[in-house]
Amino acid sequence: MKKYLKANTELLKAVTTGKWRKRETAITTSLKTEQSRMQDFLANEMVEGIDYGHFQNYSKAVLLKPGAEKLCNAYGLSKLAEVIQRTENWELGVFSYEVKVVLIDKKSGIVEAEGIGSCNSKEGLFKEIDVYNAVNMILKTAKKRALVDAVLSALGATHLFALDLVSLPNTSEIEVALDPATERQLKAIFRIVREIGLSAELAKGLMQEKYRVNTSKDLSKVQASDFIQDLLHLRDAYKNSEQSLENQ
């Protein structure tokens, strides 16, 4: 009881003498400085359409995997991923994964944040492909979502980025990006298409089917960001298939 009274007396004294207000001001200033640093990093180091993207029906930019990894490197964070739940039904073609990613400060070894991400074969992304060839892709998508969740938590970056691709903002806050794809986005599309080895006809067919456009120059900025993510998923799937063949 005496300790309780003493603690409260000291707290009251701190408030009345202005020490608490000074501490509160220092904390607020520190937060503003860190937010400013994050905004500068976003403007100068991160590439729209690759590190982050603007998607229709989202009021904020969405952090993508390359951007999350870039932020980890910039802030000295190492990543540790663990599959905490998995469903693999090869007879029915149903696959689901839930992943936890832990971010650790490289210098101190302190755990800065944890993130959870999940993905399953019933999502729209996998309806048009052979799900049996996309199992590793489903797992990687869950890992990517967990990583982004952890990074946003560790860096307190939700003032800049949307939490995820499921939670929609209020209709009054929706930003519809109708600007054409940027030159940087177009170059990224061409580069990834070459890396995958897709023919021009197949790439064109993918754009026609999903966006009803004939060339990448007809894509909007939002569509280009979305298409780049699809291509990155395909690239990962192809790489994993090649590695599997080499190990056989």
- Of the candidates 228, 235, 232, the residue with the CA atom closest to the CA atom of residue 54: 228
Residue of higher predicted confidence among 114 and 136 = 114
| 120, 127 contact by CB (below 8 A) | no
Task: Name residues whose C-beta falls within 8 Å of residue 100's C-beta, 6 or more positions apart in sequence.
Answer: 81, 82, 84, 114, 115, 116, 146
pLDDT at position 129 = 75
pLDDT band at 231 (very low <50, low <70, confident <90, very high): confident
Q: Count CA atoms closer than 13 A to 34's CA, side-chain side.
A: 13
Residue with tokens 């489903």: 138
In percent, the amount of the chain with pLDDT more than 90 equals 26
pLDDT exceeds cutoff 50 at 176: no
Of 19 and 158, the one with more pLDDT: 158
Q: Residue 224: which of 186, 191, 196 has the closest Cα?
A: 186
Q: Which of 216, 171, 218 is nearest to 59 (CA)?
A: 171
pLDDT band per the 50, 70, 90 thresholds, residue 172: very low
